[in-house]
Structure 1
Amino acid sequence: MHTLEQLRAGALSGVQRLQMRGGLTEFPREIFDLADSLEILDLSGNALSSLPDDLPRLRKLRIIFCSDNQFTELPAVLGACPALTMVGFKANKIRTVPPASLPAQLRWLVLTDNLIEELPAELGERPALQKLMLAGNRLRALPAGMAQLHRLELLRIAANQLTEFPAWLPALPRLTWLAYAGNPFCEQREVAMTGTPSAAIGWEQLELKQKLGEGASGVIHRADYMHDGATEDVAVKLFKGAMTSDGSPLCEMAACIGAGAHPNLIPVLGHLERHPDGAHGLVMSLIDPDFINLAGPPSLESCTRDVYDAGKRFDLASTLEIAHGIASAAARLHQRGIMHGDLYGHNIMHCGQGRTLLGDFGAASFYDPASPEALPLQRLEVRAFGFLLDELAERCDATAAAEPALARLRQLRDACLHASSAARPLFDDIETQLRTLKQD
């Protein structure tokens, strides 16, 4: 974090990344003194409502974050910044997105949790766009021109006012991670899923212990669960109730419950009732501390691809075990009409023997398995699995004798990443192929 005093004193000369928070109401003009070096500007968490007309003087600026401010319009001056590729204005009061505000080289746009009712048709004229986050707005439709976004890989349109599923979405050749829950067109399916039976666990039966972790949608605590005369160690996830980048935490809770029991999913013991503040929550089995995340989330540079530790390696047996476990879990979800929406290595936990658990249902969406869009939606997620296979194969240490098996794994990867969605296998078939590969 940097301060205005440092900036004015010239102590930040030459910095490439500047982060300033703390009640700014106007854009500090001293930032222009950094024009020869500044590439990333983070002014989130202030009280800004406008940007200066001469912002393009920051000619090297690639990334700008202005989340949690007071903007009512996405500043048109952004589109004039010559090097700008990433724009993040989450949690403002934005109602209007002028066509001029969209940089020509736009790659990543975050407008989550605003008041946007309509997007400009020109959004479909940004061919480099890979990541588009629009959850928690008031959109009633998407511009038809978005069907031309052939590089778009991640799309978040959950918690809007869309009355129809955009039929052209599954035809986007690179779309891989999609979240659309919380819209009127899928309300009926979500109500049915929310009604999935789940044990009710009273707040008075729980004694919270230390915090285990915190994500966008909630906080996870270790807890004692008193029932049937015994005490059980569990994990309790308390949902924050606010909009996340993926959508509504309530949809996440419905997906966790609706998924049911599976050896590669974290067991849900029940939903929370009678919290003193009315908070929603889930009580889950406590994960063995030997489990760790398979990867880290995408970086600003990788955009849509996970980041792995440099020394991360697997033997062939572990590689196949991880792949088979996740394929089996995904097949289970699809059978139940649930699309995970965020099938990534950073949402997979594994132990040294290859046993895996697929978690984080924050981007989950629901569909009718008998509907026309069911298979195209499933094949979007298959593409995500193809990237996972690519990452596993790249880090697999296979002996010469095991090389034929690794070659078959790569063939499956290629099938999952096929440019034609209709040519990709479904998870039932993928799971069968991987089970056979494990046994051979």
Structure 2
Amino acid sequence: MDRTETLAALRRGDLAGARELRLPDGLTEVPPEVFALADTLEVLDLGRGSLTDLPADLARLRNLRVLFASGNPFPRLPPVLGDCPSLSQLGFRGCGMEAVPAESLPRDLRWLTLTDNRIETLPAVIGERQRLQKLMLAGNRIAALPDSLSAADNLELIRLACNRLDALPSWLMRLPRLAWIAYAGNPAEPATEPTPAARVPWAELEVGALLGEGASGRVHRAIWRGEAVALKLFKGAMTSDGLPAREMEACLAAGTHPALTGALGRLDGHPDGAEGLLLRLLPPHWRVLAGPPSLASCSRDIYHPDLRLDPARALRIARSVAEAAAHLHGRGLLHGDLYAHNTLWEAATGAAVLSDFGAASALPEGPDGTALARIEARAMGILIGELLDGCDVPPENLRALEIACTQPDPAQRPSLTEVAAALAQMTA
């Protein structure tokens, strides 16, 4: 059933007992028939329309956990959201929103997406939302984070790219569970010089089949000078991680490494002016290690239930990713999205490469750079733990490394160079 048919069925009363409702674009108001689902509705997607507010009695949807309203021109996050007793995930991306009232944040808030708005400040009460796990703020006008977030002990992922932060607060790098951070495009990010790269004329390419598509662009198979390559064409729009232009620069600055999908050159002369990169093409039997997080898992990847790993393959995957991340740190880059869903692997051998630089940021020198790198050590520890969960006989020394990487005091975690060295010793 498409979204238009869903709306018609809702109005006929055919959706009694529905737990999820995804309405079509173009709404000017929330259909009153939605409230007939008050006893069951858990996920509501309002589509992209012209909504500027929500019904004052929205809390009648007492089981509503997830609300998406991106692309509607809300001037502020609706205060009525704070009255909804079960609401834990909000998606208000690209709304032109300027204000986030304190009363708009639900008590059990877990995942808040406010990407690509005009927000300058966040209310201090956000630090009181103890379940907050994922905070998406890229593409706003935020100059300072509330100090109350220093108490956000469950915060695991934060996206701050393309704001107005002159500095990252010191408490941010001490949060015990933070594992994924992106802050490119802020004054706080160290300035870097553009990386020299080969220019690849569009006319020299034979562009073939679409291999995949993500938030920042589409990847095609292509032939360049007789060799098969991957061509990533960027969309140019703000993503949840930041601007694609920053992803391009990070991918070029990363240089070459066996466990990275390295850039071969920058595209020139696309007929529509699109920007693009040529990347190393992996063999067709390589696959993504896991799927991205779901609404329920929030910040944790989704693995195929049948995935089983022997210790040798688990160790090889972990070593490849750790070596890739250590290489990036050595080149002054934080990956920011070190995840299994950004890891491509060969099932037969466990060979793996780390991909996707959409959340990458430049690392400052000195203690701040070290502290940020220790955040990524936690992400590595989480990945190791997930690999161990897929092992029939988990290696005990690998479990000890997971514990070291995920300990709550970031300063006590090993560097990715130390992690890579430990994994190399285990696989010797």
Considering the TM-score relative to the shorter chain, is it more than 0.5? yes
- Say if 2:130 and 2:152, in contact at 8 Å, map to a contact too: yes
- The aligned counterpart of 2:252 is 257
Query: So what's the TM-score if we normalise by structure 2?
Result: 0.97
Query: So what's the TM-score if we normalise by structure 1?
Result: 0.95
Q: Return the alpha-carbon distance in structure 2 between the equivalents of residues 329 and 103 of structure 1.
A: 39
- The aligned counterpart of 1:239 is 234
- The aligned counterpart of 2:70 is 67
- Segment of structure 1 superposing worse, 152-161 or 138-147: 138-147
- The aligned counterpart of 2:132 is 129
Q: How does 1:326-405 map to 2 (within 5 A)?
A: 326-352=321-347, 353-368=349-364, 370-398=365-393
* Pick aligned residue for 1:291 from 286, 293, 299: 286
* Pick aligned residue for 1:148 from 114, 132, 151: 151
- Say if 2:26 and 2:47, in contact at 8 Å, map to a contact too: no
- The aligned counterpart of 1:316 is 311
What is the percent sequence identity of the aligned residues? Answer: 51
Query: Shift of the alpha carbon at 1:165?
Result: 2.1
Q: Return the alpha-carbon distance in structure 2 between the equivalents of residues 115 and 95 of structure 1.
A: 5
Helix, strand or coil for the counterpart of 1:283?
Answer: strand
Query: Shift of the alpha carbon at 1:397?
Result: 2.6
Answering whether residue 219 of structure 2 is matched by residue 220 of structure 1, we say yes
1:215-263 deviation line (CA, Å, top 9, x unaligned): 000011111213xxxx221111011110001111111111111110100
Q: Return the alpha-carbon distance in structure 2 between the equivalents of residues 157 and 110 of structure 1.
A: 11
> Unaligned 5+ residue runs, structure 1?
none
Q: How does 1:301-312 map to 2 (within 5 A)?
A: 301-312=296-307
Helix, strand or coil for the counterpart of 1:160?
Answer: coil
Helix, strand or coil for the counterpart of 2:17?
Answer: coil
Q: 4+ residue stretches of structure 1 with deviation over 3 A?
A: none
* Pick aligned residue for 2:51 from 40, 45, 48: 48
Helix, strand or coil for the counterpart of 1:212?
Answer: strand
Q: How does 1:75-114 map to 2 (within 5 A)?
A: 75-114=78-117
Q: Return the alpha-carbon distance in structure 1 between the equivalents of residues 346 and 392 of structure 2.
A: 17
Q: Return the alpha-carbon distance in structure 1 between the equivalents of residues 33 and 399 of structure 2.
A: 52
1:395-417 deviation line (CA, Å, top 9, x unaligned): 1133xxxx6xx001100111011
Q: Return the alpha-carbon distance in structure 2 between the equivalents of residues 410 and 71 of structure 1.
A: 47
Q: Return the alpha-carbon distance in structure 1 between the equivalents of residues 252 and 186 of structure 2.
A: 20
Q: Return the alpha-carbon distance in structure 1 between the equivalents of residues 27 and 137 of structure 2.
A: 25
Helix, strand or coil for the counterpart of 2:21?
Answer: strand
- Segment of structure 1 superposing worse, 160-169 or 148-157: 160-169
Q: How does 1:122-201 map to 2 (within 5 A)?
A: 122-186=125-189, 188-189=190-191, 191-192=192-193, 195-201=194-200
Q: Return the alpha-carbon distance in structure 2 between the equivalents of residues 69 and 282 of structure 1.
A: 33
1:92-133 deviation line (CA, Å, top 9, x unaligned): 110011000000110010000111111111111111100000
Q: Return the alpha-carbon distance in structure 2 between the equivalents of residues 320 and 83 of structure 1.
A: 41
Q: How does 1:11-22 map to 2 (within 5 A)?
A: 11-22=14-25
- The aligned counterpart of 2:271 is 276
Helix, strand or coil for the counterpart of 1:168?
Answer: helix
- The aligned counterpart of 1:422 is 411
> Unaligned 5+ residue runs, structure 2?
none
Amino acid at match of 1:356: A
Q: Return the alpha-carbon distance in structure 2 between the equivalents of residues 152 and 36 of structure 1.
A: 30
Query: Shift of the alpha carbon at 1:280?
Result: 1.4
1:133-173 deviation line (CA, Å, top 9, x unaligned): 00011111111111111110000010111122222210111
